[in-house]
């Protein structure tokens, strides 16, 4: 055996690097994806030894390259759209203006009125779940009702509040 001959994984790595570099035009990205290819190939081979590991490695590498190209394309499009708008237009103001404050108060008043219209068990279930963060089991134990009844009351309350606060 020659001392300078590449072992099977080394030879495959070199082939994958050439393949990915040609496809992506970036040696660093190709190296990252080749490493990811070997990790996925190893993980797969532990559970299901492949008949042709070389073919599987190239299939994994090709899929990783396609995913990378899609992500890169999306990022380029997104960044191009962001650059068209000013950054100030994209960042929401941390303090609501008078109009937003008035609208929020109006929605809150509508929600309070909608909750007042609910029968007691529905209102209690809604408040225990939404405000206090209790689970169905905890609510059922506290109100001495079944978990399925908790679900029914909560669904009824949510439907009612949604219709009253945002009828559209």
Are residues 59 and 112 located together in one domain of the fold? no
Mean pLDDT within 113-142: 90
- The whole-angstrom separation of Cα 16 and Cα 12 is 6
Residue 37 has pLDDT above 50, yes or no: yes
Q: Which of 42, 60, 87 is where one domain is finished?
A: 87
Same domain? For 20 and 67 the reply is yes
Same domain, 15 and 73: yes
- Tell me, letter by letter, the H, E, C secondary structure of 147-166: HHHHHHHHHHHHHHHHHHHC
Residue 127 lies in a domain: yes
pTM, 2 dp: 0.45
Shared domain check, 69 and 20:
yes
Is 119 found in the same domain as 65?
no
Q: What CATH number does residue 111 fall under?
A: 1.10.10.10
Q: Does 98 map to a domain?
A: no
Alpha helix segments (H runs only) across the chain: 8-24, 27-47, 53-84, 87-90, 98-117, 120-130, 136-143, 147-165
Residue 2's pLDDT band, with cuts at 50, 70 and 90, is very low
46 within a domain of the structure (yes/no): yes
How many domains is the chain built from?
A: 2
User: Which whole number is the average pLDDT over 32-60?
Assistant: 89
Residue 18 counted as domain residue: yes
Q: How confident is the model at residue 81 (pLDDT cuts 50, 70, 90)?
A: low
Q: Residue 2: inside a domain, yes or no?
A: no
What's the average model confidence in pLDDT over 124-147?
A: 90
Check whether residue 77 and residue 12 sit in a common domain.
yes
Are 33 and 20 in contact, with CB atoms under 8 Å apart? yes
- Say what the pLDDT of residue 19 is: 93
* Shared domain check, 81 and 121: no
Same domain, 15 and 70: yes
Q: At residue 139, does pLDDT exceed 80?
A: yes
Is residue 156 situated within a structural domain? Answer: yes
The boundaries of the domain holding residue 69 are 8-87
């Amino acid at each position: 055996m020659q001392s300078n001959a590449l072992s099977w994984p080394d030879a495959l790595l070199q082939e994958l690097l050439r393949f990915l570099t040609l496809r992506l035009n970036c040696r660093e990205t190709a190296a990252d994806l080749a490493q990811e290819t070997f990790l996925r190939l190893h993980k797969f081979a532990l559970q299901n030894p492949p008949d042709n590991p070389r073919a599987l490695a190239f299939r994994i590498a090709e899929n990783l390259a396609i995913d990378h190209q899609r992500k890169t394309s999306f990022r380029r499009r997104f960044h191009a759209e962001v650059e068209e708008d000013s950054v100030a237009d994209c960042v929401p103001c941390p303090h609501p203006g008078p109009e937003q404050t008035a609208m929020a108060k109006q929605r809150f008043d509508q929600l309070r009125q909608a909750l007042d219209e609910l029968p007691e068990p529905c209102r209690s279930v809604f408040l225990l779940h939404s405000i206090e963060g209790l689970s169905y089991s905890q609510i059922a134990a506290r109100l001495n009702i079944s978990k399925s009844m908790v679900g029914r009351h909560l669904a009824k309350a949510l439907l009612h509040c949604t219709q009253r606060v945002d009828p559209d």
